[in-house]
Amino acid sequence: MLDRKKTNIIIYTTSWCGPCKSAKRFLSDYGFDFEEIDIEKENISREQMASMTKGLTVPQIVINSEPIGGFEDLVKFFDEKL
- What's the pLDDT band for 82 if we cut at 50, 70, 90? confident
CB contact at 8 A, 11 and 59: yes
Kindly report the number of other CB atoms within 10 A of residue 49's CB atom. Answer: 19
Among residues 53, 49, 41, 11, the alpha carbon closest in space to that of 28 is found at 11
- What's the pLDDT band for 33 if we cut at 50, 70, 90? very high
pTM above 0.85, yes or no: yes
Q: Which domains does the chain have, with CATH numbers?
A: 9-81 (3.40.30.10)
